[in-house]
Copies of this chain bind each other. A is one copy, B any other.
Amino acid sequence: MSVKLNTDKLDLQIINAMMNDAEISYAELGKKLFVSAGTIHVRIKKLQEMNIISGTRMNVNVKLLGYDCTAFVGIYLEKSSLYDVVAKELKKIPEIVRLNYITGSYSMFLEVVCKDIAQLRRVLHDELQKIKGIERTETFISLEEGFSRTLVVVDPE
């Protein structure tokens, strides 16, 4: 069950705004949403206490820092019971920025960010294949990112 029942339209408007730009001031956001800065403040405090929102992150263009190579990796495990022990090993590899357990052909699915193909090869061959329990992997190199955006959260219909 969700805590959605305790959030109203104003909360969702604040969330959608701050999800895309957390630098907007309470005064400016309040003006947009026709309430005072104080109201924005108490709502944000409430949403933080409900763990719906938590901190902010700076957007970084890692491409400009030389990280030009994103790949997705599907993992076949020898046994499903090896999930946790393999996940623990994968977490040690800094180039892996995300791990999901999924349905379908693969047991696990990774997102990997590297500087170049050479580094990706090192991660796949030297690091991944070394982990006990991984049967084989399938790699999809991202040629280009079409788009990436935040979800727009809406009320239940």
Q: Which of A101-116 contact B (CB under 8 A)?
A: 101-106, 108-109, 113, 115
Q: Is A27 an interface residue (CB 8 A)?
A: no
A113 to B149, CA, bound (A): 11
Q: Is A62 an interface residue (CB 8 A)?
A: yes
Residues in B whose Cβ lies below 8 Å from that of A72: 72, 100, 102, 109
Give the Cβ gap from A70 to chain B, nearest Cβ, in Å.
Answer: 7
Q: Mark A129-154, 1 if CB is under 8 A from B, else 0.
A: 00000000011111111111111110
- Tell whether, in the assembled complex, residue A143 and residue B7 are in contact, meaning their CB atoms are under 8 Å apart: no
Q: Is A82 an interface residue (CB 8 A)?
A: no
- Tell whether, in the assembled complex, residue A147 and residue B58 are in contact, meaning their CB atoms are under 8 Å apart: no
Contact of A64 among B51, B70, B144 (CB under 8 A): B51
10 smallest beta-carbon distances between A and B, as pairs = A99-B146, A18-B58, A2-B66, A102-B140, A22-B56, A22-B58, A100-B142, A104-B140, A56-B56, A103-B141
